[in-house]
Structure formats: C-alpha cells, structure tokens
Amino acid sequence: MKHVGLTARMAIAGSILFAFYAVAAVVAMGVFGAPLWLVLVGSVAFVGVQYKLGKWMALRSVRAEDMPKDQYGWIHDRAEHLSNEMGIEKPRLMVARMGVPNAFAVGRKGAGTVVVSEELIRLLDRDELEGVLAHELAHIANRDVVMMVLGQGVASIVAILAQWAVLLTGDNDIADFFLAIVVGQITQMLVMIFVLAISRYREYVADSDAADAIGGGDPLARALEKISHGNEQSSDSRVDENVNALCIFGQERGLAKLFSTHPPTEKRIERLRR
C-alpha cells in the first residue's frame, strides 16, 4: 500500500535523524578521538543490537507465547487472508496476558510478529478483532515499526554521547553527573519529537489501511471504543512504556499526552466512521 504522506514524513524525519546522528558522530570523533570507521561501525552495531533486543524485550515483557492453531484457528485464517490482501507474509502470531485488551506488532516484512492479548480476544467480536489484526498487519506492511525502532536507536545514541560530552568536558564531580543525566534526557526528548510525530500519523494510516482491507471502518471503530473502555476500567496493565508505543491503544494520561505516541482515540473513531 502506497502512502505519499507517510512516506514523505518518514523521509523528512529520517533526514533529521541522520543529521542528529552526523552531529553525534562528529562529537564522538572530537571528544573520544575515535576514527570515523569505528564510529560508523559502532553506531550501526548499536542500532542493530537495539532492534533485535527491543523486539525480544517487547515479547518477553508481556510473556508472549505462540498462538495455538487448534485453539485460535480462525485468527490464523483471517491473518493469512489479510496478509495476502496486503502483499506480505503472514507474521508470527502470539498471545499474551497483558492485563488490558490490547495488541501490537514488531518486526518487518517477512519477519513480523503480531501479539494479541487474551483480554482482547475475549472482549471483541470476530469482525472487530479482524479489524485490529488488519491494523497491526498494516504497520508491518508500511515498515513504520522499523522506523520507530531506528528512531529510538538514534535518539539513544545521541543522548549517550551528549551525557559523555558533559562528563568529559566538566570537572567530573557530582554536579556534572546529574547535569549529564538531565542533558541526556532533554537531548533524547528533542530527537524523539520527530519520531513521535510519525508515530501519531502512522496510526491514522494503519486505521485507514485496515478499513480498506476489511471493507469498512465501523468494526475497527467499535473495537477501539471497547479497547478504550477496557483500559479505563483496568488498573492491572502489564504493558510497559516502550511496548505501549507499539500498541493499537496508547495509555498516555496527563502531561504525557504532550508527547503521545497515539492520536486521540475519539479522532481515530471519527475518521473511521466518516
């Protein structure tokens, strides 16, 4: 599925992230005296390890297990059909007890994984769950999961280098230590602003793709209403902050909404029902 808006945003954000990365590389060479080849190899290896480790940690954090075909055969069938519709390989399907009704996707085309919570399967009707599956498959098809992980990796590299720059250019006392932490957090936040802008937009795109795949937006709209209500009623969420950014429903509240990974659920439902 071709999306000019998403592609353009990913290209712009990618260019900005590369600029941050280039600045970080110059700082690394200046502060540490590291050669260019070592900086390049080290940073690529860091992002690669973070990508692999991030996927593993996301699945481990919710204790995801392979979804049994004998118990959830119809989910496997619908995932197979929707994957064919979207032109991707059927991803690995997993199930987890998250404490709340939710779902998320990790990985890329040909190596994707979709995790669905047991709470979500119990809550939704079959057509609503199909809408959620289509939404997660759209994320894999559009490669925006990879963009999110790479963006987080660049943000981490820039933040770490900013912290070391403060420590190595200061007096190396306790004040510099705390200043380095603050500078690192602020730097990472500034870089992540561009990633979060894509994150919110990609939810709208995945909703639209899901509606096209299942023949209408109402089932997914109803699913989002039930998921939102289910998350409000539950206080036993086992979804951590990093996984929350990948889920179909984000749980940001209060000031966290300023840096939300998801657009307002009400707006998503409104768009789906137009």
Q: Which residues of 97-129 are buried (b: 16+ CB within 10 A; e: fewer)?
A: ebbbbbbbbbbbbeebbbbbbebbbebbeebbb
Catalytic residue among 136, 203, 266, 270: 136
CB 191: neighbour CB atoms within 10 A?
24
Alpha helices in the chain (DSSP H): 4-32, 36-61, 73-86, 118-123, 126-141, 144-169, 174-214, 218-233, 241-244, 265-272
For residue 231, what are its two tokens? 């998350």
| H/E element, 113 | strand 113-117
Q: Is 136 a catalytic site residue?
A: yes
Q: Which residues are annotated as catalytic?
A: 136
